[in-house]
Chain A
Amino acid sequence: MKFSVVLLGLFILGVMFGTAGFMPQFLLIDGVSMQLVRLLLLLVGLGMGLDLQFFTYLRHVNLRMLLVPAGVVLGSLVGAGLAALLLPGLSVRDGVVVGAGLGYYSLSSILIGQVRGAELGVVALLSNILREVSTLLLTPLLVRAGGKLAPVASAGATSSDTTLPVIQRYTDSATTLIAVINGLVLTLLVPFLVTFLLGG
């Protein structure tokens, strides 16, 4: 959560730089930020490969548990696509790409902003931050209205880190294990989903 605040602060700092007309020269050189995005994907993959915990948890996975991340992916893409249908100025594909962030806002907004421009990038950032924040705030309500798996579904890729404590507090240990596995699987899927949907 602390890191989320730092990232948001840096984004706002960037916005202030941008509005003041301050554009560091090295960023304007074509492709420098794209090289950084490439490096980021390599590093994110490296981090996941190095994470011993990830594979320890994957041993606990059974097929039924995988219904949760499967449902989150399908539901997010369809739900965001349908929402985009109702919105002026947003194509269904735009909506689906933003939905594919699954709450992993740093990576998804960076990728989407890089490929599709600042406008959709900022929508992706806000939408996916909102997914994390609303899960943090609404989990007790979600559990009462939609059952124990509702906050796990709502959390998306964040259910194994930032939203895990609140899920653990308002559900049970079985759901907490599902939340960890759901978050790990979805975090692994986001880079594939977003880049694939942005155009192969």
Chain B
Amino acid sequence: MLALILLFVLGVGLGLLLRKRKPLAPLVEKLTQVVVCALMVVLGISVGGNPQVMQNLGSLGLQALALTVGAVTGSILMVRGLFHITAGKPRQ
């Protein structure tokens, strides 16, 4: 996992160094999209090729929904709370 973080940081550093070269950004964006597309198909294949996952898609969907409700509610409350603490009153 550390290797992944280092690669990401390396990418940001390289990007900052090469920032002046204009044509690079659209090229990197296109390449990123291609890799993301390929990996989405890979993720799909790993899901479709796993009968246990396919049988449980319904309950996995419910888990996803519950986690979203938790994360969204938590985010809204935490942002309000932090503003409340620092300002003494909630922001509009």
Contact = CB atoms under 8 A, between A and B. Distances in A.
Contacts of A19: 48-49, 54
A45 B69 contact: no
Interface residues of A, number: 101
Interface in A92-137: 95, 98-99, 102, 106-107, 109-111, 113, 115, 117-119, 121-128, 130-131, 134-135
Main secondary structure of the interface of A (DSSP, over half): helix
A124 B28 CA distance: 25
A49 B14 contact: yes
Q: How large is the interface on B (under 10, 10 to 19, 20 to 34, 35 or more residues)?
A: 35 or more
A192 to B, nearest CB: 6
Interface string A131-159: 10011000000100011111011101000
A61 interface: no
A7 B38 CA distance: 9
B49 A148 contact: no
Interface string B33-55: 10111111111111111101110
A74 B74 CA distance: 8
B20 to A, nearest CB: 9
Contact of B49 (A23, A48, A131): A23
A106 to B, nearest CB: 5
A110 B39 contact: yes
Contacts of A18: 44-50
A12 interface: yes
Contact of A191 (B4, B47, B68): B4
A93 B36 CA distance: 25
Contact of A14 (B11, B33, B44, B65): B44
Interface in A30-47: 33, 36-47
